[in-house]
Structure 1
Amino acid sequence: LSIATVIVVLSLPSSYKSQGTILIESQEIPNDLVRTTVTSYADQRIEVIRQRLMTTTRVMEMVKKYDLYRDERQKTAATSVIVELFKSNVSVDLVQANVTDPVSGRAKRASIAFTVSFMDKSPGKAQQVANDLVTQFLNENVKTRTDRAAETKDFLKEEGDKFQSKVRELEKQIAEFKDRYSGSLPELLQYNLSMIERLNDEIGANQNEILLLKDQITTLSLQLSITPVNLPMGVTSPAEATTSQSQLEQLRLQYSSLLSKYEPTHPDVVRLKRQISALEKELGVDSGDTGSIQNELEAANTELRTLSEKYADNHPDIKALKSKISSLESRLAAASDDTSSSSSIAKSSNMNPAYVQLKSKIASTENEIQRLRARQEDARTKVADFEKRVSETYQVQRAYDELTRDHENTVAKYRELRSKQLQAELAQNLESENKGESFTLIEPPVVPSKAEKPNRPKLIVLGLGASVGAGLGLAILIEMLFGGVRGYAQVTQIVGKSPIVVIPIISTTAEVVGRKKLRNKLIILAIVVGILSVVAIHFYVMNLEVLWYRVMRKLSLL
């Protein structure tokens, strides 16, 4: 068995292993300044790259490129067998060490490097394939990181463009919304309220001014009613009017005032009428002059219009004015019968400048009232428009707030994406210039000088030990199955009776000498085998000092 073991071990084909070591270097620029887009752990990326390199297509490309497994490829057309054989000869092992986490300050295990190896019967091919695998690992890592950075940048740019379109669309909607509700926007609420207040103040001021102007018209109408249309006979200018003329005007003013309060038959009215008639005869003024009656009638109508705006039709002042107007209309109708005489008097008389002036003042005052009323209508229209805007503001505010809120959120998200896009561009530049985490080849694969498999000394030692064990086991098995009769007890058991006498083996002198020589040879052989075993263990299995240290450590733990 020992000879067979040696022959088998020496006839086994040799396999050579070529290995390269790649260092995992951290990012050169601090993460606080430029943050990389690759966030996975190094061992995860290494495994991902390994899976990409171990695809059927890429494995078969390397097999054909380096003409691997020629016999196996000739025996079978199935690529899966070749691929599995290639994968079994490829080894990727991580090199880990205890490091301190800079964030938490705790110690942990981290991968600082990894090895890529390939095993083949040819040492040259083993080195070539291992070198190719190392190169592909390095290139694939760079490609993966740059592609990841580019994809991240492109994704952020695409998303940023989408949000930019959303921002423009929302800005367009807000502009259209402002055009549609230009006067009802929430930011114009205070302006609209202030305009309503100002216009109401303007309406109140105009109303007060209109009332003052109406009072002026009333006063002017009373003055007009006692002012003759023409100057008296022989008077060419107002300066020539006598005190009697002024007294006549005062009496007429009092008369008009009394008529607004009492009936024409009232004693005071009758008395004042007689005084006026006497003074008119003295001055040569005709009391039935249609001009003066017309003046009184116009003044009374003006006063009636003024009072009608304040009081109802059944008010005493309204009734008195209506009675006065009826009386004046009767007098005017009676005075109109003598047309020829009135016409000749009117033609021969000069127009009274005071009358013309009062008439002009009344007309201008009425025009001012009309202007103020037009302004009031315009102000009321504006107030209604501003009130409508205010009422719409509370309805518009909700929709406007939703639009502005969506716009603000979209703008914030757009700015965030643009900021991230800038960071992604920096990360892409970081990866393209190899400033990020990188794989660096620190020990390239070399042509192996000795075989990795099989370990012939180790196998020979194990084979010899197995041979000895097999021999002993076989002897024990034969003894157990086909053992002879030995000893007094076995004879008694077989025969059923005890032997009369037991004669021991009587050895001759030559036999004793031969057994001693055999024992000495076995002892010497055992010593030699023990020494050879220790030497083999020391050189081919484990250093004796290390073995002794491990044994003592195990014993100390017991």
Structure 2
Amino acid sequence: MVGRRHTSGLDALLNMWHRRKWLAILVFTAPFAMTVTLVSVLPNLYRSTATLLVERPQVSDTFVKSSVTSELETRLHTISQEILSRSTLQELIDRFDLYPEFRKRASPEEVVERMRRDVRMEFKERGIRRDPKEGELPRLVDPQGERAATVAFALSFRGRDPHVVAQVTNTLASLFVKQNLNLRKRQAAGTAEFLRVQLREMKNKLDQEEARLSEFKERHLGELPEQMSVNQTTLIRMNAELRFNKENQTRILELMERERLASQLALARQFAYASQSAEGSPLPPSDESLTPDGDAELITARLRLARLNQELTDLRTRFSEKYPDVIRVKAEIAALERQLGAAAGDHGSAAEPAPPVNSSRTQARKIPSEAEKELKTLREEEKSLVQAIAMYQQRLDQAPLRDQEYQERFGDYKTIKDHYNALLQRYQEALVAESMEYGQKGDQVRILDSAIPSTRPAAPNLLRLIFIGLILSIGLAGGAVGMIEHRDTSFHTLSELQAFTKVPVLATIPRIVTKTDTSRQRRRFWLRTAAALMGLAILVGTTYWVAQGNEQLVWMLDGKRS
């Protein structure tokens, strides 16, 4: 009302209460009665919590490195997914007869999903983020960047029966411990099996490379890099043996030449003695008379020719035909051979040997002397030495090429060998780690505190609901009265009328109430009261029907979700 002059605030409130008290009482009573009914019939939900502890390995990583290298967060998430699987939760629902009323009107998938929401896990370790997204585990955060020594976490379950809730919580905790052990065993066994397969494949490759390397060594025996020093030593020794052999041949040739010349000299003496005897000379000829100067030069030339031939053979074993020393020795041999040929032609007609002497010389040639046999043996040995020297020289010449080929093959072999040794070491560590897991010496989850039946419900919070309902009822009542007063345009007091118009008020006439008016007002009051009570009963009944056993409503009013 514009321009309305108000009285004191208290008088206005009293007048307003006098006019609108039944409306305020009705508006206040309806929501408050619903709140009281809601608090009275809502089911109590109990929560039991079991505390689990993740302990570090009993054996230090310095001695035995675990093959289960997955992060704790990942492993716990995997275990929780296995525990919250449909088959596991369905088995628990059937065993403990959970949600009997809800199972009558819902599908098995909905019942399992409801139990998932009732299971909650939260960590109790410093540096852990406690605001995970829906459907995720809390994330482990170590502020120092190191693995925590222990991690404690709480596993809880809520329901209507505190004893059943405690049993279910302890069962879930036992399953968590069991699944952790089984998971670590599976991971350790899987790691060992994977390394076993890899080791077998690498062993086959290593055997193939060893066979290739052995075949290469057998095919090029004596040409390998590690045999170069032996080949060089052997070659030096054979060259020394060859020189010694040639010296022996030279010595034998000189000896044979002396024997031949001595034999010729003896024959010449016999021939000269026979000639002098025929002429009547009683004295035998002297050596000087039987050995002219030409024969001495011939003997010297033949000895030098034998030495040159031996020297040429020695040079040919080491150098080619174009080598200067080889050409020089060949030229000297050719000159000596021409000289000996000319000398043999001059002396051939001078003395014709007697037939008896020729017969004895021919017979002597047919019987090889010991020197000739030894010379033959030395020449055969020389031939073998020359062939062996050529073979060892070829090995030394081929050594760089064989060294390159060998290094290529040995490099491949060494790479595979190193890989095999690394796999073997990791496989042995995996076997020890697997044994450690089966001996329960690795990271273990144990129950620190078992769940016990709760004596106080976790939800709903009755005092909080009553307080909220009271505040809401008062607010609704005040709002309803204020809205009605704002829409009311009638005058209730003299001051309101005087504030509205300048016309003076001469008199006030009180309300005249007859018996008929009183009867009508009483009847109207009872009708309104009956309607209000009926509406209130409908609201209370509806609230009772909705809230009776409604755990979902408890979740909503409690404001928490698992």
TM-score exceeds 0.5: yes
Aligned partner of residue 228 in structure 1, secondary structure: helix
1:9 paired to 2:39: yes
Q: 2:262 aligns with which of 208, 223, 227?
A: 223
CA distance in 2: counterparts of 1:111 and 1:504, whole angstroms = 90
Distance 1:321 1:437, change over 3 A: closer
Question: Which structure 2 residues correspond to residues 216-365 of structure 1 after superposition, within 5 A?
Answer: 216-228=255-267, 231=270, 245=284, 247=286, 249-257=287-295, 306=306, 309=309, 312=331, 317-330=336-349, 335=352, 346=356, 363-365=369-371
Distance 1:119 1:198, change over 3 A: same
Equivalence for 1:553? none
Instruction: Please say if residues 54 and 151 of structure 2, whose CA atoms lie closer than 8 Å, have aligned partners that are also in contact.
Output: yes
* Code of the aligned partner of 2:222: G
Equivalence for 1:518? none
Give ranges in structure 1 of 5+ residues lacking alignment: 236-241, 261-298, 337-341, 508-558
Equivalence for 2:483? 477
Distance 1:104 1:250, change over 3 A: farther
Q: Which has the higher contact order (CA 8 A, sep 6+)?
A: 2
Alpha-carbon displacement from aligned partner over 1:394-446 (angstroms, at most 9, x marks no partner): 22222322333333343333333333333333323332233322222122122
Q: What TM-score results when the alignment is normalised by the length of structure 2?
A: 0.67
Deviation at 1:16, TM superposition (A): 2.0
Deviation at 1:13, TM superposition (A): 2.0
Equivalence for 1:120? 159
CA distance in 2: counterparts of 1:41 and 1:452, whole angstroms = 33
Question: Which structure 2 residues correspond to residues 54-453 of structure 1 after superposition, within 5 A?
Answer: 54-77=84-107, 79-97=108-126, 112-228=151-267, 231=270, 245=284, 247=286, 249-257=287-295, 306=306, 309=309, 312=331, 317-330=336-349, 335=352, 346=356, 363-453=369-459
Distance 1:134 1:125, change over 3 A: same
Deviation at 1:55, TM superposition (A): 1.7
Aligned partner of residue 173 in structure 1, secondary structure: helix
Give ranges in structure 2 of 5+ residues lacking alignment: 1-30, 129-141, 275-280, 310-328, 511-562
Alpha-carbon displacement from aligned partner over 1:14-73 (angstroms, at most 9, x marks no partner): 222222111222222332223322333434322221111112222222222222233333
Deviation at 1:128, TM superposition (A): 2.6
Distance 1:157 1:8, change over 3 A: same
Deviation at 1:141, TM superposition (A): 1.0
* Code of the aligned partner of 1:49: I
Instruction: Please say if residues 222 and 256 of structure 1, whose CA atoms lie closer than 8 Å, have aligned partners that are also in contact.
Output: no
Equivalence for 1:465? 471
Deviation at 1:308, TM superposition (A): 8.9
Alpha-carbon displacement from aligned partner over 1:178-234 (angstroms, at most 9, x marks no partner): 221111111111111222222223323333443444444444444333322784799
Equivalence for 1:499? 502
Equivalence for 1:273? none
Deviation at 1:487, TM superposition (A): 10
Distance 1:227 1:431, change over 3 A: same
Question: Which structure 2 residues correspond to residues 6-45 of structure 1 after superposition, within 5 A?
Answer: 6-45=36-75
* Code of the aligned partner of 2:438: S
Q: What's the C-alpha RMSD, in Å, of the aligned pairs?
A: 4.3
Instruction: Please say if residues 218 and 303 of structure 1, whose CA atoms lie closer than 8 Å, have aligned partners that are also in contact.
Output: yes
Distance 1:28 1:303, change over 3 A: closer
Instruction: Please say if residues 195 and 426 of structure 2, whose CA atoms lie closer than 8 Å, have aligned partners that are also in contact.
Output: yes
CA distance in 1: counterparts of 2:40 and 2:250, whole angstroms = 136
Equivalence for 2:25? none
* Code of the aligned partner of 1:443: D
Instruction: Please say if residues 313 and 319 of structure 1, whose CA atoms lie closer than 8 Å, have aligned partners that are also in contact.
Output: no
CA distance in 2: counterparts of 1:27 and 1:506, whole angstroms = 97
Instruction: Please say if residues 220 and 362 of structure 1, whose CA atoms lie closer than 8 Å, have aligned partners that are also in contact.
Output: no
Paired residues in the alignment total 442
Distance 1:259 1:16, change over 3 A: closer
* Code of the aligned partner of 1:401: Q
* Code of the aligned partner of 2:45: S
* Code of the aligned partner of 2:188: A
Report which of the two structures shows the higher radius of gyration computed on alpha carbons.
1
CA distance in 1: counterparts of 2:398 and 2:305, whole angstroms = 40
Equivalence for 2:460? 454
Instruction: Please say if residues 59 and 83 of structure 1, whose CA atoms lie closer than 8 Å, have aligned partners that are also in contact.
Output: yes
CA distance in 2: counterparts of 1:27 and 1:224, whole angstroms = 104
CA distance in 2: counterparts of 1:212 and 1:503, whole angstroms = 180
Aligned partner of residue 442 in structure 1, secondary structure: strand
Name the % identity.
21
Instruction: Please say if residues 259 and 320 of structure 1, whose CA atoms lie closer than 8 Å, have aligned partners that are also in contact.
Output: no
Aligned partner of residue 245 in structure 1, secondary structure: coil
Aligned partner of residue 290 in structure 2, secondary structure: helix
Distance 1:505 1:328, change over 3 A: farther
CA distance in 1: counterparts of 2:417 and 2:238, whole angstroms = 40
Instruction: Please say if residues 498 and 505 of structure 2, whose CA atoms lie closer than 8 Å, have aligned partners that are also in contact.
Output: no
CA distance in 2: counterparts of 1:259 and 1:130, whole angstroms = 128
CA distance in 1: counterparts of 2:271 and 2:32, whole angstroms = 174
Alpha-carbon displacement from aligned partner over 1:274-311 (angstroms, at most 9, x marks no partner): xxxxxxxxxxxxxxxxxxxxxxxxx8997797499455
Alpha-carbon displacement from aligned partner over 1:77-118 (angstroms, at most 9, x marks no partner): 4x332222111111111112369xxx9978998873111111
* Code of the aligned partner of 2:55: E
CA distance in 2: counterparts of 1:378 and 1:188, whole angstroms = 21
Alpha-carbon displacement from aligned partner over 1:215-257 (angstroms, at most 9, x marks no partner): 444444443333227847999xxxxxx995352x323322543
Instruction: Please say if residues 183 and 389 of structure 1, whose CA atoms lie closer than 8 Å, have aligned partners that are also in contact.
Output: yes
1:47 paired to 2:77: yes
Alpha-carbon displacement from aligned partner over 1:107-144 (angstroms, at most 9, x marks no partner): 99887311111122233332232222111111111111
Aligned partner of residue 439 in structure 1, secondary structure: strand
Instruction: Please say if residues 308 and 333 of structure 2, whose CA atoms lie closer than 8 Å, have aligned partners that are also in contact.
Output: no
CA distance in 1: counterparts of 2:225 and 2:492, whole angstroms = 122
Deviation at 1:318, TM superposition (A): 3.6
